[in-house]
Amino acid sequence: MIRRVPVILAICLAVAVPNLAQAQREPAPAAPAPAIQGGPAPFEADLMRLSEILGALQYLRALCGANEGQKWRDEMQALIEAEAVTPDRKNRMVANFNRGYRSFQQAYRTCTPAANVAVRRYLDEGAKISREITARYTN
């Protein structure tokens, strides 16, 4: 599990693109973690939050004309490949990504200043999660 943490770092560093924005939202409660090698990963809640952030970024960046294509979906796929060690975990990660995407899809039809603030905040939060996971769980 620890060897996959650098993948999380790489994905989250992609999240840390400067000069972007997004509206601050309360984090959704993470689903209970599955038992993995004697218990849930200590960063399980952060992993689920990161999945949600990637979904929100996929919607908001496209809405605001970033022309990044499927960048955030691809980052999510890489995260799943690195961290979805059980089918249940994969399903929860996908559900969190979809929740992030749909929550903004319901709230924003055009790019607004608030949507730009939301993007910036999610980029910052994703980078923070990455730094914290990397600092705590890598050698």
108 CB-side CA count, 13 A: 25
In a domain, residue 36? The reply is no
Cβ distance 117 to 23 under 8 Å? yes
In a domain, residue 33? The reply is no
What is each CA distance from 27 to 23, 45, 52, 87, in whole angstroms? 12, 10, 9, 23
In a domain, residue 58? The reply is yes
Q: Distance (Å, rounded) from C-alpha 126 to C-alpha 118? A: 12
pLDDT for 106-119, tens place per residue? 999 999 999 999 99
Query: What is the tally of structural domains in the chain?
Result: 1
pLDDT for 74-94, tens place per residue? 999 999 999 888 999 999 999
- Domain residue limits at 78: 2-19+42-137
Average of per-residue pLDDT across 122-139: 88
In a domain, residue 27? The reply is no
Give the pLDDT of residue 96. Answer: 98
**CA nearest neighbour of 51 among 132, 136, 129, 137:** 129
| Tokens coding 65 | 């004309």
**CA nearest neighbour of 123 among 3, 1, 21, 46:** 21
pTM for this predicted structure: 0.74
